[in-house]
Structures are given as structure tokens and as C-alpha cells.
Structure 1
Amino acid sequence: MENNSGKHLKKELGVFSGISLVAGMTIGSGIYYLGSYVLERVNMSMGMALVCWIVGGIVSILGGLCFAELGAEMPVTGGMTTYLAKAYHPLAGFVNGFSGFLLTASGSIASLALAAVTPFQEEFAFSEPVTKAIAIGLIVLFTIINLRGIKTAAAIQNISMVLRLVPLVLVIVLGVFAGKSQPDLSLATAFTTDTPPTFFNIVKVIGYATFASLWAYEGWTNLNTVAGEMKRPKRDLPLAIIISMGGIMLIYTLFNFAVYRIIPQAEVNSMIADGNIYLGKTAAFNVMGSFGKWIVLIGMAVGIVGTVNGDCLVFPRTYYAMARGGFFFKKCGEVNDKGVPAFAIIASSAMSIILVLFNSLQQLTDWLVTVSALLNLMAIFAVLIFRKKYPDMERPYKVWGGVPVIILTCLLFVVLLVNNFVEDPLTSAKGLIIIALCIPFYYIFRKLNGGMEYDTDKIDN
């Protein structure tokens, strides 16, 4: 379907571009610093931390399998915003998209841009204003690149995906073959006399730490957003999600194990206590000196800015879909001569720059996870709703394992969300407040739209 300017989104993405987008939007800054947060949440137990990285990967793969069914049966631009609107109510879709604009999507771009610069602060003594200025410059750069067309942005994403694997593979190889530390992988070290290893405490510890790892895995939801621009979405979309997320779980687990093989437990504890959370950089330095450290630093930067590029490519498609449905700024529903939603891209980047100016990396990361996990849970449950609501809809791919796997995935997300609310109620409450703030805007846009509901049928396929 054409939009009001007579132009439409181009179908130029194949399976490798899909894998690159998922991997590119997933392997960013999180793997380099979230390992420290996971360790803190398991009482510095290296064995339990590895378990949590594996559990986080399994949860993400299960979620990805459910999203693959949604994307294959409805390969439309807008992804989760469209699914929630059709499954529940137009308000649910709007809240997903507008909370993304206010925080989750724009905040992801902002936090990644800051994370690309943060590891270099120690080397060059950047002040906070300089750090933020460089982060804003990165956002502007990738905004310009994405305005030139999805083909250019996808090509950069493909190249950066390969380059970002270099520091991860380097640390993995160094740790496995040159690491001299023998980490204590006993799970018992995650517990104390005050928190004995009862079933409840095991679930609590694993759940709380796994929740921290989910931000490193976040990215598996975003390929569906550009399903309308894939050449063969019904085949390539589930394939890209499954291949990419399985590989990412393996890489993340091996990366953290390699770090433990290089840096002794006492040094890891001391680093994290001092606020030095980028363990991979120190691991490379311990084995290869400054050369290894700079390879990791540069690789980290390439990986993170590649994720910024992927975010700048994907997230504006949600605002485009919302504008086409009458529930976002009208100009964001237009496509330029390059076949991309230019105004949506500019609006996305502008909001990201505002968040860079007024928030820190830690604040942004804390706020993002709860909102994302809650909306992901709603989208996964939508698979069951669609099977009931649209039984005759063509489903070229269905979740492996059927309904039990979908229910299991939903239950896992519920356990993680409830556990995180108990352990960190303030951060969880902030996420719920962001969602609540979106609701008045829905009725404002509906009034401006002449009282009509969010119309997903107007979205460009």
C-alpha cells in the first residue's frame, strides 16, 4: 500500500541482512559492562553468573521464536506496535510505540551513543560535556546515513556486524587458550548463611541476575519492525532470528567464561568495587598489553556505533507505522525519494539527543529493561490471541513446541518481572510510570484524528 506521498518502503533486506540487524542491534555495549552487574547480583559467583547468561539466552531465544511466528504471519512495518494494537486494543499498540519514542527506543540510541564513548574516558580524560557532545555527533552521523536509504544503512550494518565480533572472539580465544586463572564455578558461592540455597532463593537469585542480562540480549524484537522491507519475510525472518540469537547466546557465555579465565576472582571483585565495569578491556590488557586493550576498545566502539546505526534504522519504522495509522505526527508517515521515512528518522534522533543531554548511561539502562520486558511479554502472549482470533490466517512458521512453549515463555517473563519488582521496586515503578504517561497522548492523538482509533490497516506493507 502506498502512503500519502505516493511512495512506499522498499523491500531490500535478505536473510543475511536480517541476521546482521538482529546481531548488530543485540551485540553492542551490554555484553561489555553488564557482566559486572550480573556478577554483583549473584554475590560475585562466576558459576552462577554463567548460568544466568545461559538462562537469559534461552529466554531470549524462546521469545524470538514467538516473535518469528508474529512476523511471518504479519510481515508489516511497525512490528510490535502493530501486533499489540491488533491483539489487544489500539491503545496497547500506541503505548508500545510512544513509550519507545519517549524512552525505550530513543533511550536505547542515547545509551548506546554514550556507551560508545564511555570506555575511552579513562584513556583521554573526557569531561562529561565532551562525552555527551561526541555521543550526539554519533547520533547525527547515523541519522544522515539512514536518510540516504535502507540499502546504505544495511550495508554498514553488515560490515559492522563482522567487525564487532573481533574483540569478542579475541577475548574468547585468549581466555580459552592463554587464560591461567582457574575460576571457581561452584554455584554455592552465590548463597550465604542469610540466603541459603532454598528453591525460592535459587529462583530469586537467578531471576534477578538474568533480568540484568536481558538488556544485552535485547534486539531480537526489532527485526519484525522492518519485516515489510524484507524480500522474503515469511522464510527469512524466523531463520534470521533463530540463527542470530542462538549464536549470540554461545558468544556471550564463552566471552564471560574467557574473562573469568584471564582475570582472577579477587581482581574482578576489586575492579567492580572501584566502578571499573569493562572487564573485557582489562582481560585483553592482561594477556596482550596495550595492543590487546586497544583492539578491544576499538572493536567495542565499532560494535556499539553499529548498534546505534541499527537502532536509527529500525526504530523510526515504528513511528512511521503509527503516523500512517493516524496516531503520531503526520509528517512521520511520509517517505522521501530514497524510500525511507525521513521525518520519523529525524524525530527519533531528536528525542535521543534530548535524552543524552539530560540522563546518564546508568539511568537510561535502568529504565529501559522493565518497560521492554513488560511489552515483550504482552507481544509473546499475542501469539496465542492471534491463533484464537484469526484461526484461518496463513502461518508459514509456527512456534516449535506449540502452545506449551508459548505459555512457558510467558511464565518465564512473568517470573522475571515479578522478581525484579520485588528486588528493585523503585526502578520497576519508574518503568510503569513511563507507560502510564503515554496514555493521555493516545486520547490527544485520537481527538486530533477526528475520534478515529489507531488504524493498522493503513500501514504500508
Structure 2
Amino acid sequence: MEKNERLEALTSQNTELRRDIGLFGGMSIIGGIMIGSGIFYLGAYVLQRCGMSLGLSLICWAVGGLVSVLGGLCYAELGAAMPRSGGMTLYLNEAYHPILGFLYGFSDWLIGGPGSIAAIAIALPTALRAFTDIGDMGIKAIAIVLIAILSLYNCFGIRLSAILQNISMVAKLIPILIILFVALLLGQVSPTLGIQPPTGPVSVFDILRMLAFAIVASLWAYEGWANINVVAEEIREPHKNLPRALFFGIGGITILYVLFNYAIYRVLPLSEIQTMLNAENYYLGTAAAQKVLGNTGAIIVTVGMALSMFGALNGCIIAQPRTYYAMAQEGHFFSSFKWLHPKYKVPAVPMAVQCVFSIILVLFRSLDQLTSLVIFNAMFYYMLGMFAVIRLRRKYPDIRRPYRVVGYPVVPILIGLVFFGLLINTLVEDPANALLGLCVPAVGAVAYALFDLRLKRQGSSQ
């Protein structure tokens, strides 16, 4: 009976939270977090890893988007079947063991979530340095104010949060689309889109090796789509809107990324791109905008970058506290984190703690080192999330699954192996930070044991 009651709670759409996020709101959360300043410079890294082959780089962006779409559809099955807060934490709890879900959430709570928020908040005013004389202390002050104001704003209900996210999503797309269409229309370059590098033909094996290496870079531009599952309990008709938001959100961004990079190639000759990269200037999007629109282009790019980062910042502040709320609901976390504001139905306590942690991290100098500590673990948990689709079908074969991932079981296995490849790549490329990142789940394991002991004592006293 206990198992049946748990399954009923997992699959029920009844909730204390407010289901105020519609389809566009879900897409805005996905796009708001995924589309940041990376659209203006990540293409340079992809192109370098493709041996400066323009055609191969565009294939890389398309394949990276396809991998993300398929990964999103795997998550769509999980979220539509279990429309509860928590996302990855919930799925790891049910597919494997609660300690895995806890370790993911603990790493995210301690460093991952606040570190990402702090980094974005600092990056936003930094992008304005080209037009204003802002010192380091001024940038940190602005970052702290942004975090505090957005955290407070998002305490007034998910409906207001979704409205702001929708507005920022539209606002960030306007400058990006202006650059894209102007570059496509006014570009004078006819790019060569062959898959062979300009330095000379290489073997099929070398092409596949370059493609695989470049896809790793492109996938970072698609990072963030899984955050929509964290707020599944606040999505209207999640069995319909969650899969649609993931498919249309990630699919639309894939098209945007491919067209944006093609538009750059229409404006900047390959020789000019090579000169920029030799000078370690990776902002190809900025250079393309300045070439076709002059100083106006530079302003549009700066505004676009600021709006993109604002949307990503707000999206992270919305999503992360729902994970900590779900952990508290499961029992292995602070009891206060499952308290909801009586009027706005928002997990206000984890929102406030996240705000404090983020502000503390803003005061540290090397935020990149803090956030890189959790990259290795994140890839591990994403891999487990893909395989959770298979495990949960076997563990709970009878629960209602309004959406089933296409190509099962090939797609979950394939995308799981892709994340395994990213895991190995991170270990090879950055072994020090990858191994240091293991310290976080080690501390988390101790914390889990303490929370578990508390639960057992509470159970024995009843």
C-alpha cells in the first residue's frame, strides 16, 4: 500500500503549488537559461575544433541541437509521467536510490546553482564595460543588487516570474534576430560549406574525430534545457506542455544557432575569422554586427548580451529552489525548505538561502573555478538521467506515461553514452577540477547520512 501511495503522489497532478506556467512560459524558461552570451563567441571554439571547416561546424551545431532535443525528449517522458518539482533529484531517487538524488541536489545547492547565478550576475554588468567605466567593485555591487532584486521579485509567485521570463525572452531575441537577418541580407561573402578543412583533405576518421570534439563545445551552448523539469509541478497540463516546451524550445534554439553562425559566415571571410582567432578575439558575432551595422551593431550586440544574461539569471533563480524544495519533501534535507508561502505558494526559504549563497560567491574572485568543480559531477548525473528512463519503465511498468520517448530504448542509451563521453572528456581535459569536484558529493554523502539518521530517529519516536 505504501508503494501505491508513493506512486499516486508521484504521478498525481494535484499540488499545493500554482500551475501558472503555460507552453510559452516553459519555452521561455528553457530559452532564457540556454541563450546567453555564448551565442556571440562559442562559434569560434566550434570552428577551431572543426579545423576551420565552415560546413563541418554547421553540422556540429545541428548535431549538438539534435542530441539536446533527444535528451530533452527523454526528460519529457520522465516529467510528463511524474509532474512534480525536483527534476533530476526526483528521477534519480526513484530510478536508483535517494542518496543519488540527494547528492545531485546537494552539489547544486552548495555550489552549482549559486555559482552559476553569481557568475551570470557578474558577467552581465561586465558586458557593459565597453560603454561605461565600471570598476570591479561596481560590477560586484551591481551583481549583488541584481541577485537580491530578482530573488525578492520571484518570491511573489510563479505567475509573475513567468511573465518576467516571457518578456526577457522576447526582448533578448529581438537584437539577436536583427543581427541575424541583417547579416543574411547584407552579407557579401559566399562561404564554402564543404566538410573538408581548408588546409587540405583529411580522412573520414579525422573528420569524425573533429566533429565529436567540436560537438562537446557546442553542447555547452545548449546547456540548461533540463531546468524546465524542475518546475514541472507548476506547469499547466504538464503531460502536454512539458514535452512540447522541450521539443519546440530546444528545436527552435537549434535552428537559431545554425542560422546565426551561417549569418556570421555570410559577413566575415574565413581569412578574417582566422586572423581574429589568431589574435584570440573569439567574439565573431560582435565582429559581424559591427561590420554590417557599424557602432550601432556594437550597441545592439551589447544590449543583446545583457538581455540574454538577464533572462538566464532570472531563469536560474526561478528553477533551482524547486530542487531543494523537492529534497525537503523527500525528507533528506532541511524541513524549513518545504515550507511554501501561504499566499504566493513559493518555496521562499530555499530562495532566500540561494540568494545569500550567490551573493557570498560574488565576493570571491575566481568564480570560474568554483563552478568548474561541479561540471564533472553534472555530466555523471545527466548520464544517469538518460538511463533512468529505462530503469523506471522496468521498475514502474504500469504507471501512466502520457508521453513516451521516440526510438526507445535506443535514444536513451545513445544520449546516455554521449554524456558518458562528455564525462571522460572533462576528466581528460581538466583532471584536477574533475577530481576536486568529487569532494562535493563526498561531503554530501556525510550530510545524507546525518539527515537519514534524523529521519530514523523521528520514525522510531512515533
Same fold, judged at TM 0.5 (above):
yes
1:221 aligns with 2:226: yes
| 2:112–2:371 CA contact under 8 A, matched in 1 | no
Report deviation, 1:145: 1.0
Equivalent residue runs for 1:11-410 within 5 Å: 11-189=19-197, 197=203, 199=205, 201-336=206-341, 337-360=343-366, 362-363=368-369, 366-367=372-373, 369-410=375-416
Would you say the 8 A contact 1:367–1:430 is kept in 2? yes
- Number of aligned residue pairs: give it: 445
Amino acid at match of 1:217: Y
Q: What are the superposed Cα offsets for residues 430-454 of structure 1, whole Å, 9 maximum, x if unpaired?
A: 444444443222223223434689x
**Shift in Å, 1:34:** 2.2
Which whole-Å CA distance do the structure 2 matches of 1:186 and 1:364 have between them?
A: 40
Task: Give the match's secondary structure for 1:189.
Answer: coil
Q: Distance in 1 between matches of 2:98 and 2:198?
A: 44
Q: Is the 8 A contact 1:211 1:420 kept in 2?
A: no
Given the superposition, is the C-alpha separation of residues 377 and 133 from structure 1 closer, same or farther in structure 2, using an over 3 Å criterion? same
Give the partner amino acid of 1:18: G
Greater Cα shift, 221-230 or 358-367: 358-367
Counterpart for residue 445 of structure 1: 451
79-88 or 287-296: bigger deviation:
287-296
Whole-angstrom distance in 2 between the partners of 1:427 and 1:191: 34
Whole-angstrom CA distance in 1 between matches of 2:422 and 2:185? 35
- Residues 327 and 175 (structure 1 numbering): CA distance in 2 closer, same or farther, change over 3 Å? same
Check the 8 A contact 1:168/1:251 in 2, yes or no. Answer: no
Distance in 1 (alpha carbons) for counterparts of 2:458 and 2:69: 37
How much has 1:273 moved relative to structure 2?
A: 4.3
Question: Is the contact made by 1:332 and 1:344 (CA closer than 8 Å) also made in structure 2?
Answer: yes
Q: Output the amino acid matched with 1:391.
A: P
Distance of 1:214 and 1:275 partners within structure 2: 21
Output the TM-score relative to the length of structure 1. Answer: 0.89
Separation (CA, whole Å) in 2 of partners of 1:279 and 1:368? 29
Cα distance in 1, alignment partners of residues 368 and 265 from structure 2: 24
Aligned to 1:425: 431
Identity of aligned residues (%): 43
How big is each residue's C-alpha offset from its partner over 1:139-192, in whole Å with a ceiling of 9 and x where there is no partner? 112101101111111100111111111122122112211112344434332888
Distance 1:156 1:334, change over 3 A: same
Q: Decide whether the 8 Å contact of 1:106 with 1:349 is kept in 2.
A: yes
Following superposition, the deviation at residue 364 of structure 1 comes to: 5.6
**RMSD, aligned α-carbons:** 2.5
Measure the CA separation in 2 of the matches of 1:298 and 1:122.
Answer: 11
Q: Residue type of the partner of 2:71? A: G
Distance between the aligned counterparts of 2:452 and 2:355, measured in 1? 25
Query: One-letter code of the match for 1:318?
Result: T
* 1:456 alignment partner in structure 2: none
Deviates more, 1:427-436 or 1:111-120: 427-436
What SS does the aligned partner of 1:188 have?
Answer: coil
CA distance in 2, matches of 1:446, 1:452: 10
Equivalent residues of 2:53, 2:197 under 8 A apart: yes
How far off its partner does 1:219 sit? 1.9
Any idea what the Cα deviations from partners look like across 1:99-149, whole Å, max 9, x if unmatched? 111232222212222222232223324333322222222111210110111
Unpaired runs of at least 5, structure 2: 1-8, 10-14
The gaps in structure 1 that reach 5 residues or longer are: 2-6, 454-461
Are the equivalent residues in 2 in contact too, given 1:331–1:343 (CA < 8 A)? yes
Measured against aligned partners, the alpha-carbon deviations of 1:231-257 in whole angstroms (never above 9, x if no partner) come to 211111111111111101010111112
Counterpart residue type for residue 380 of structure 2:
L
The alignment partner of 1:219 has SS state of: coil
| Aligned partner of residue 124 in structure 1, secondary structure | coil
Q: How much does 1:205 deviate?
A: 2.6
